[in-house]
Amino acid sequence: MILDHLKSIFTHFDKSDALASYKELASGHINDTYLIKTENEVSYILQRINHGVFKDVPGLISNKTFVSQHLLKKLSHLPASELKRRVLSFVPASTGLYYHLDSDKNYWNVMVFIHDSITYEAVTDENVAYEGGKLIGNFLNLTNDFDASVLIDVIPKFHDMSFRFEQFNDALKNASTERLSQAQNYIDIVDDLKEEMHIIQYLKEAGKIKTRVTHNDTKISNILFDQENKGLCVIDTDTVMPGIVHYDFGDAIRTICNTANEDEQNLDLVNFNITYYKAYVKGFLGETKNALSQIEIDHLPLGAKTMIFIMALRFLTDFLNDDKYYKTKYAMHNLDRAKNQFKLIESLTQQYEAMTINSSMSN
């Protein structure tokens, strides 16, 4: 029984209290996440990290605890009650480590739950898009002087386009004929976009785009808002590592400007919301514009398109691989996710000119 198992895991984190109830939070695609409540009525997030995906879990845990420590220092002017809501706080196990390794070789970690916070799977309010941009921009600012050399590459080449194409090409070779034919139209789209989707990577490799500390999973469901819809805290810092601004800008746009959820099957509902894009850009550049070079700013729209594409490509690759990587709820789930992302690219492309960043967008 899950309850008994979670109870026993929790004893390794707090011996003076006990887990009383749990609720699974099923929005993540990789880890198992539970909101738990203890007998003393304290709420925590208890998480089992997928060590098939994350090969060095202790390294991942030290990355995210380092990031929290850095943010705590940067925000130390805030009152303690506010600080607790702005920075993820990890609970050490009785060993002193910030994880527990169970007898099945599973890694668990615990975070303090941030009360009175809201998350979204899709945005329905322009102000939420603006606040999201502000918070992601602020995260990049706050981590700008963070010593990236203490971070491990949790997933090497995570957003490297050539690497994702290699995986896609391997999947094409090994896929079943049935899945290949179901995916054919989308395989053709991938080919058509291939060159354009490498532009940002080439600029990075040529040293024209700076490497920074980035979050790498800035989807809307990883942004906590307070009851007034002000951005509160960026969560899920599992993938924090060196990267470029376009990853974080783009992955947030991917989810904030999609008029539907990431796995919506009715593609008529999936469109790129340019109003939310402009609101997000305003919030984002308000925080970051002095830290970004002109070439970085000029390529933000392409960064958005590239990040949507990379997710489409990864979902399609996993579909061809018979769903080995992402959690799926039904047979066509990964293909539906890929179709959704390709539809979003199509809608974005129709409005691409209006996405060009100009000075009036940031104020």
Task: List the one residue out of 28, 26, 27, 19 whose CA is nearest residue 1.
Answer: 19
Q: Which residue is nearest to Mg ion (CB)?
A: 217
Angle at 199 between CA 193 and CA 203, to 5 degrees: 170
Question: What are the beta bridge partners of residue 6?
Answer: none
Q: Which is nearer to Mg ion, 140 or 279 (CB)?
A: 140
**According to CB under 6 A, which one of 262, 264, 287, 323 is a site residue for ligand GN1?**
262
Phi, psi of 8 (to 5 degrees): -70, -35
Smallest distance from ligand GN1 to CB 217, Å: 5
**According to CB under 6 A, which one of 20, 25, 35, 53 is a site residue for ligand GN1?**
53
Question: What are the beta bridge partners of residue 247?
Answer: none
Q: How far apart are CA 95 and CA 72, in angstroms?
A: 23
Smallest distance from ligand GN1 to CB 61, Å: 14
Q: Which is nearer to ligand GN1, 29 or 74 (CB)?
A: 29
Instruction: Confirm or reject binding of residue 30 to ligand GN1 (CB under 6 A).
Output: yes
Instruction: Confirm or reject binding of residue 215 to ligand GN1 (CB under 6 A).
Output: no
Smallest distance from ligand GN1 to CB 236, Å: 5
Smallest distance from ligand GN1 to CB 30, Å: 4
Residue keyed to tokens 């090497």? 156
Which structure tokens are listed for 340? 């959704």
Task: List the one residue out of 126, 135, 142, 146 whose CA is nearest residue 284.
Answer: 135
Angle at 334 between CA 344 and CA 352, to 5 degrees: 15
302-321 positions binding ligand GN1, by CB under 6 A: 311
Q: How far apart are CA 89 and CA 91, in angstroms?
A: 7
What CA–CA distances, in Å, run from 53 to 65, 133, 324, 326?
19, 28, 10, 10
Q: What is the DSSP annotation of 46-111?
A: EEEE-TTT-S-HHHHHHHHHHHHHHHHHHTTTS-HHHHHHHS--EEPPTTSSS-EE-TTS-EEEEE
Instruction: Confirm or reject binding of residue 269 to ligand GN1 (CB under 6 A).
Output: no
Q: Which is nearer to ligand GN1, 31 or 143 (CB)?
A: 31
Q: Which is nearer to Mg ion, 51 or 198 (CB)?
A: 51
Q: How far apart are CA 236 and CA 217, in angstroms?
A: 8
Size of the site for ligand GN1 (CB under 6 A): 10
Amino acid at 32: D
Smallest distance from Mg ion to CB 217, Å: 4
DSSP class of residue 223 equals E
**According to CB under 6 A, which one of 20, 25, 28, 117 is a site residue for ligand GN1?**
28
Residues contacting residue 210 through CB under 8 Å, at least 6 positions apart: 244, 245, 293, 296
Q: Which is nearer to Mg ion, 236 or 323 (CB)?
A: 236
Instruction: Confirm or reject binding of residue 263 to ligand GN1 (CB under 6 A).
Output: no
Instruction: Confirm or reject binding of residue 323 to ligand GN1 (CB under 6 A).
Output: no
Instruction: Confirm or reject binding of residue 251 to Mg ion (CB under 5 A).
Output: no
**According to CB under 5 A, which one of 236, 251, 296, 323 is a site residue for Mg ion?**
236
Residue 29 binding target from ligand GN1, Mg ion, none, CB below 5 to 8 Å by type = ligand GN1
Instruction: Confirm or reject binding of residue 248 to Mg ion (CB under 5 A).
Output: no
Size of the site for Mg ion (CB under 5 A): 2
**According to CB under 5 A, which one of 32, 131, 217, 264 is a site residue for Mg ion?**
217
Smallest distance from Mg ion to CB 236, Å: 4
Q: Which is nearer to ligand GN1, 312 or 361 (CB)?
A: 312
Instruction: Confirm or reject binding of residue 239 to ligand GN1 (CB under 6 A).
Output: yes
Which structure tokens are listed for 143? 């981590």
Task: List the one residue out of 351, 338, 83 whose CA is nearest residue 233.
Answer: 83
Site stretch for ligand GN1 (CB under 6 A), options 23-31, 124-132, 184-192, 226-234: 23-31
Instruction: Confirm or reject binding of residue 262 to Mg ion (CB under 5 A).
Output: no
Q: Which residues bind Mg ion (CB under 5 A)?
A: 217, 236
Residues found near ligand GN1 in the complex (CB under 6 A): 28-30, 53, 217, 219, 236, 239, 262, 311
